[in-house]
Each structure stands twice: as C-alpha cells, then as structure tokens.
Amino acid sequence: MTPIAPAATTAIAPKRIGVSTIASPVHGTATINGAATIMLGSNNYLGLAGDPAVAEAAIEALRRYGVGTGINPCFARTPVQLALETELADHLGVEDALLFASCSAANAGVLTTLAGPGELILSDRMNHASIIDGCRLSRASTLVYDYSSPASLAAAIETRGDRRAALIITDGVFSMEGDVAPLSQLAALAEAAGAVLVVDDSHGTGVVGPNGRGSAAACGVDPARILFTGTFSKALGGAPGGFAAGSRKLVEWLRLGARPFIFTTGMGAADAAAALAALRALRSGDGPFDRLHSNARLFRSRLRDGGMALADSPSPITPLPVGDEGRARRIHSRLLEEGVFVPVMAHPIVARGDARLRAQPSAALSVAEIEYATDAILDAFEGCR
C-alpha cells in the first residue's frame, strides 16, 4: 500500500469557511493555514500530546495490539487499558474507573444509567452540551439551576415534589469562563437530597488541584463524594477517550448497564497507552503542571499590565471579553495574520452580545512566545474598534 503524502492530504482537503487547516502537531506552536503560529486555542494543556515518550508508548501499543480493539470491551481488554483505569482512579482518589470512547459517551452513559423516567436530574445552566444531550436521552425530568449557584440549586431541589433527585451534575471547570464549580456546597446539597453528585472534569483533570488531581482536590472536597467523568483528549496526552470514575459500586453499575459503554467500540490500546504515559508524566512531577500555571500567570499578568480587565481563575482558560461578534472575528483575523491563534467564541456557543476570544496558554509555550502573543493581543484589541 502506498501511503498518502502529507502534501497530498493538504491538496485534497476541502475548504470550509471559518475552519483553519493544521499541518503539524498542535504544541506551543502549530502550522496553521501554512504559517507557523503561536497556539493559544489548544486543549493540550500540559504539552504532552507532542511528548516523544507519549508518542512512543502509542506506537509500541499499536505494534503489539494493532489499530482497533478487535473485541467489545465488555468481553476483554488489554493490560494497558486495565492499567489506565487503575492508575487514573488512584490519581483521582477514587475506587475505580471505566474507560469510554469519549467523555460525551461517558456523560451519556452516566445520565441514562443512573437516572430515568419519574426521576430528577439537576443540571447547571452552563453545563457542556454533552451533559444537556445526556439529560434528554435519560428521559428523566431535568431542572436547570443558575450558573454555579448553590442557592439556586437548593431552591430547585425544594420544587422536586415526589420525584427522586437521582443526580446533580456540573462541569468541574467551566470551559467558557475557566472557573471551578463550588463543589463543597454542591456535595453537601447532593448528600442531603440523596442524590449522586456527578462532575464532568474534562477541563480539570490534569489542570487544577494539587498536581492536577482535578476540581474536587482544588476545592478541598473528598473525591469519594463524587462520580467523575472526563476525557484524555485535553491535558492527558490528547488521545481520544473518556472515563467515569468513582465508587466501585457506581462504576460496576455503569460497566454492567451503560449502553454507550456496552454497545460501541471502546477506547483503543494505542490511545490508552498514550493516555497512560501522559498520566505517568503528570504524576512524576517533572514539570509540565507547574510550567502550565507559571505560563498562565505570566500570560494574564502581561495582559493586565496592558490594561485588560481579566477575572481570576485557577485554570489556564482565559476569556477575553469583546461583546460584538463582528469585532471579535476581526480581532481573531488580525491575530492570525500576526501569527497568533486565539479562537472566537460566539453565538450559539455563548449568548448573543457576549462574544469573546478564549485563550488557553499551555505548558508548551516559551516565555518569548507568551510575550509576543500578549503584545499582539493588546495591539489587536486596540486596533480593531
């Protein structure tokens, strides 16, 4: 078989309005639309997607186990997949974990298995779209409480009537704002209501809390009080795959009953090996986690010194408020011309009139790249009125 050369794939790639073309690994920089560009729009928080040891682990697993899983994960899994579940659960401080094909699949699996008709799910207004979809699929009643508001959640619980409050679900780190949910108060409310607290920690695992142990650790909450979902596609190496992690009882319930786990192809061995290598790199304490946060502090301090008002956040996610969508897109285009990629978030991702650029500084950036990028951002905001 003749492999397709990179140049050929670039030549045949269809053009899509508003979609940039990437022709390199996404690290601190990437080749975007043919030009070297500083990357401030990547979920590769720790820079491990381009780490040679992570890539080599995936290659070795590919040689040993092949491309696909070859078998339904209910029946058999490789040692690397089992090791990933064990070591992830240990890192998060819970009893067990279960791999899914994605975090969206994990959310759907949790919501449809642990809640159903006649029961109640209480969901934060700013939760990820996959949570919203999972609530709909569950056929349970869903009450939406105000963004990150324990008071609103408490009021919603009071209106439940004779419905059992099965689940309270929230993002751990909200992807548009970068802030952490008030998990201590939410856990107390969940326990009082007899509900399971579910936290989608896709932007928290590997990113916040001591050594990247996630949003519960960042809030000082015992992780045993929470059922987590999350992804490996962000901080933990970038490979596709998701997980649910919590008590052994709940995870076993999912293993036996979650349709998005049972009736689909699971996370492949090569992806699991990459995620396991990334998790081990994070836990070794050799630098990417501390570098991520020092880079985020430098990024924000330089923008604040230039006059931008930015909210404090324990995560690297840095929303750059604009308001008008047209102006936000002009700023994005100007930055791209200057070799800096910061994506636009506009309706329907955010409310009309609340457009912003969302910057995500990573551990892979150098100080010089951060200095150049922040100067370019300040100039673009000033120049695009």
Amino acid occupying residue 72: N
Does the active-site annotation cover 20? no
Rounded Cα distance between 18 and 280, Å, is: 37
**Mean pLDDT of all residues in the chain?**
92
Confidence tier at 19 by pLDDT (50, 70, 90): confident
Closest to 295 (Cα-Cα) out of 321, 275, 315, 322: 315
Alpha-carbon 81 to chain mean position? 20
List residues bridging with 120 in a β-sheet: 141, 165
Catalytic residue of the set 138, 175, 202, 233: 175
| Amino acid 287: pLDDT | 76
Q: Is the pLDDT of residue 228 over 80?
A: yes
Rounded Cα distance between 309 and 330, Å, is: 20
Rounded Cα distance between 309 and 119, Å, is: 43
Rounded Cα distance between 142 and 266, Å, is: 29
Burial class of residue 225 in the structure, from the number of CB atoms within 10 Å of its CB (0-12 exposed, 13-18 middle, 19+ buried): buried
| Amino acid 122: pLDDT | 98
Length of the chain: 385
Determine the straight-line distance between the first and last CA of the chain, rounded to whole angstroms: 53
Catalytic residue of the set 27, 91, 128, 203: 203
Residue spans in the chain of domains classed CATH 3.40.640.10: 52-284
Tokens coding 210: 């001591």
41 neighbors 358 (Cβ within 8 angstroms): yes
| Amino acid 153: pLDDT | 98
Does the active-site annotation cover 315? no
| Amino acid 18: pLDDT | 61
Rounded Cα distance between 86 and 98, Å, is: 9
- Angle 110-187-185 (CA atoms, 0-180°, nearest 5)? 135
Rounded Cα distance between 312 and 179, Å, is: 8
Provide φ and ψ at 230, rounded to 5°: 180, -170
Give tens-digit pLDDT for 148-167: 999 999 999 999 888 889 99
Residues 6+ apart with CB under 8 A from 345: 176, 319, 328, 355, 356, 357, 358
237 vs 22: which has the higher pLDDT: 237
The CA-based diameter of the chain, rounded to the nearest angstrom, is: 65
Whole-Å CA distances, 217 to 41, 210, 251: 26, 7, 20
| Amino acid 3: pLDDT | 44
If you average pLDDT over residues 110-123, what whole number do you get?
96
Rounded Cα distance between 347 and 359, Å, is: 17
How many other β-carbons are positioned within 10 Å of the β-carbon of residue 240? 15
246 vs 30: which has the higher pLDDT: 246
Q: Is the pLDDT of residue 12 over 50?
A: no
Which stretch of 2-6, 93-97, 107-111 has the lowest confidence by average pLDDT? 2-6
- The class that CATH gives domain 6-39+287-383 is alpha beta
| Amino acid 173: pLDDT | 98
Token match 């570098």: residue?
291
Token match 């607290």: residue?
197
| Amino acid 158: pLDDT | 94
CATH number attached to the domain at 52-284:
3.40.640.10
Does the active-site annotation cover 91? no
Q: What 3-state DSSP class applies to 50?
A: helix
Which stretch of 20-29, 283-292, 294-303 has the lowest confidence by average pLDDT? 20-29
Alpha-carbon 232 to chain mean position? 8
Q: pTM of the prediction?
A: 0.92
If you average pLDDT over residues 79-85, what whole number do you get?
96
Catalytic residue of the set 27, 91, 128, 234: 234
Rounded Cα distance between 234 and 46, Å, is: 8
Token match 């579940």: residue?
85
Residue spans in the chain of domains classed CATH 3.90.1150.10: 6-39+287-383
How many other β-carbons are positioned within 10 Å of the β-carbon of residue 216? 29
Give tens-digit pLDDT for 344-368: 999 988 889 999 999 999 999 999 9
Rounded Cα distance between 165 and 220, Å, is: 25
Print the SS3 string covering 155-179.
HHHHCCCCCEEEEEEEECECCCCCC
